[in-house]
């Protein structure tokens, strides 16, 4: 619907052209390199831990979901244990 | 021939790193340190870039055994850097950024068009960098990955954990904001 509107709206066409121009200019920054500070390599190498199989790209949301699920399971198990313990004590 | 040799050499370094050879990984860190650092600066600003780049390389080292080579090593490193920056973005929002102009920036700017044109280009680029630094972390990430690195909307959305539509909306707003900031500055 928006595309159809843009076909006839000169203002939107002009804005789209301006934004394309901004995008092209920003694209020109791709050949710039910011040098890492001196000692960066040494610093990284000094802090290398043991290798493991965790996925570094696992999104933060996923990690939070897993962490919350683990907490929920632990709480559920603790509550169940408390209920069962109370029942056992009552029977005694 | 040289390029192929470098590639073969890199493949060997990757295989050795996957097997836990820290020296081989150290060579890869040496080769990619500026690339990773540059992306980190663009995503979170200069103050946090060192932390992000370091953390990204440590994460990469940990994950080396899982690197299958489906994407180029540089692409894989970029994705880890983006994810690390995204994770640390809240810290980034609390920092007052040091201007990027004060940092060492190497560029292959074409000076054959004359000093005046080259001067204009340098000024434009400085203005763009300043404008990008003023965007929100979310807008900045989308804009940098799409417009500077040429990622697709799908890749940007996937790596940042946002929807396709959100990525597009943020990109549109980011470009508009950059344009406004450039207009205000000129």
Question: From A32, which residue of chain B is nearest by alpha-carbon distance?
Answer: B107
- Spell out which residues of chain B touch residue A33, defining contact as CB-CB under 8 Å: 34-35, 38, 105-107
pLDDT one-digit tens code per residue, B38-84: 999 999 888 889 999 999 999 999 999 999 988 899 999 999 999 99
> Residue for token digits 């060192």?
B50
CB contact at 8 A, B84 and B56: yes
Whether ipTM exceeds 0.90: no
Q: Residue B38 has which token pair?
A: 């540059």
pLDDT one-digit tens code per residue, A37-84: 999 999 999 998 766 555 555 555 666 777 788 889 999 999 999 999
Cβ within 8 Å, pair A51-B65:
yes
Cβ within 8 Å, pair B83-A59:
yes
The structure's pTM equals 0.73
Neighbour-count burial for A43-79, b at 16+ CB within 10 Å, e otherwise: ebbeeeeebeeeebbebeeeeeeeeeeeeeeeeeeee
Cβ within 8 Å, pair B106-A26:
no
For chain A, say whether B166 makes contact (Cβ under 8 Å): no
């Amino acid at each position: 619907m928006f595309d159809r509107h843009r076909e006839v709206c000169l203002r939107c066409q002009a804005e789209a052209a301006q934004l394309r121009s901004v995008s092209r200019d920003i694209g020109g920054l791709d050949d710039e390199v910011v040098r890492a500070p001196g000692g960066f390599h040494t610093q990284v190498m000094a802090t290398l831990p043991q290798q493991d199989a965790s996925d570094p790209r696992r999104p933060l949301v996923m990690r939070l979901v897993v962490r919350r699920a683990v907490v929920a399971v632990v709480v559920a198990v603790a509550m169940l244990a408390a209920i069962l313990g109370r029942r056992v004590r009552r029977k005694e | 021939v040289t390029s192929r040799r470098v590639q073969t050499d890199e493949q060997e370094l990757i295989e050795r790193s996957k097997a836990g050879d820290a020296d081989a990984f150290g060579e890869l860190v040496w080769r990619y340190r500026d690339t990773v650092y540059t992306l980190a600066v663009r995503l979170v600003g200069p103050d946090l870039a060192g932390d992000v780049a370091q953390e990204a390389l440590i994460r990469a080292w940990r994950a080396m055994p899982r690197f299958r080579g489906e994407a180029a090593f540089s692409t894989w490193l970029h994705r880890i850097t983006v994810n690390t920056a995204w994770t640390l973005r809240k810290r980034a929002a609390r920092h007052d950024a040091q201007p990027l102009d004060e940092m060492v920036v190497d560029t292959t700017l074409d000076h054959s068009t004359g000093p005046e044109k080259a001067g204009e280009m340098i000024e434009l680029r400085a203005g763009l960098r300043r404008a990008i630094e003023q965007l929100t972390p979310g807008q900045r990430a989308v804009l940098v990955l799409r417009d500077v690195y040429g990622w697709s909307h799908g890749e940007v959305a996937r790596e940042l954990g946002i929807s396709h539509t959100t990525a597009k909306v943020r990109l549109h707003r980011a470009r508009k904001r950059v344009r406004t900031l450039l207009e205000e500055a000129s």
